[in-house]
Amino acid sequence: MTTPGISLIIPVYNGGRYLREAIDSVLNQTVKPREFIIVDDGSTDDSLQIARSYGSTLKIIAQPNGGTAAARNRGLAEADQPLIAFLDNDDRFVPQKLQRQVQCLAQHPEAMLCLCRARAFWSPEVPENARGDADLTPQFRPGQPSTWLARREVLERVGGFSAQPECHFVEGSELYLRIEQAGCPVAKIDDALLDRRLSLSNKTADSKGHLDGIMTLMKRRLDLRRSLA
């Protein structure tokens, strides 16, 4: 099928353990990105070597550690295609993810962003007794950029990811809030097209940091409502 070009961005920081799975899930897409960008955010493991082993298939950018928001923003600055997709270095796309989202945006030309559901799975190395009671039901997670396919123009309109410390755990949700505030139409696919890995290194494993981020978002939503009242 003929499709608009996609720039796919993976930010990586010490993600060597799962990076090949993430990269291969992109290379196995039924509609492949025209531009595949890896931003290595100062990794001290073998992430950069793994990315380079794919040769010219990937555009690799190495920068000093600045956080996930800074890495995604660097990828955005380098991207040159009209559609933008993201993938975290420990997650995986299902093979039809990009194709389904391209089709969705074609069917909804007014939409600036297409979302899909995410299906959580426990990483095999996590012991059964450490897995807790996480909800593995496929969910819409609009604050998770790996579920997005965005028109480039919406990100140019609202700006990139916030690198403010209070947004460290919720930078995707904070950007999605700005997309909502700007009144940008969003389309949804009611299927799980992302496999979201649960491991002991997930950001949400830092419960205090995650809760602080949620409080920041709640305050921003409240401030917005007050300004519109």
pLDDT at 63 over 50: yes
For residue 187, what are the β-bridge partners? 114
| Residue 42 three-state SS | coil
pLDDT at 217 over 80: no
What is the number of alpha carbons within 13 Å of residue 134 lying toward its C-beta? 22
Quote the CA–CA distance of 121 and 136 in Å, as a whole number.
Answer: 7
Model pLDDT, residue 228: 45
For residue 84, what are the β-bridge partners? 7, 150
Q: State the pTM of this model.
A: 0.88
Answer yes or no: are the C-beta atoms of 20 and 52 closer than 8 Å.
no
Other beta carbons within 10 angstroms of residue 91's beta carbon come to 22
User: Which residue's structure tokens are 């291969």?
Assistant: 24
> In the predicted model, what is the mean pLDDT of residues 70-98?
98
Q: What is the pLDDT of residues 128-173, one digit of tens each?
A: 888 888 889 999 999 999 999 999 999 999 999 999 988 989 999 9
Q: 70: phi > 0 → left, psi -120 to 50 → alpha, else beta; which?
A: alpha
Q: Which fold would CATH assign to domain 6-158+185-200?
A: Spore Coat Polysaccharide Biosynthesis Protein SpsA; Chain A (3.90.550)
Q: What is the pLDDT of residues 172-187, one digit of tens each?
A: 999 999 999 999 999 9
CA 157 to chain centre: 18
Model pLDDT, residue 4: 86
Q: How much of the chain, in percent, has pLDDT values that exceed 90?
A: 79
| Residue 140 three-state SS | strand
Element containing residue 24 per DSSP (H, E): helix 16-27
Q: Largest alpha-carbon pair distance within the chain?
A: 55
Give residue 224's identity as a one-letter amino acid code. Answer: L
User: CB-based contacts of 227: which residues, under 8 Å, 6+ apart?
Assistant: none
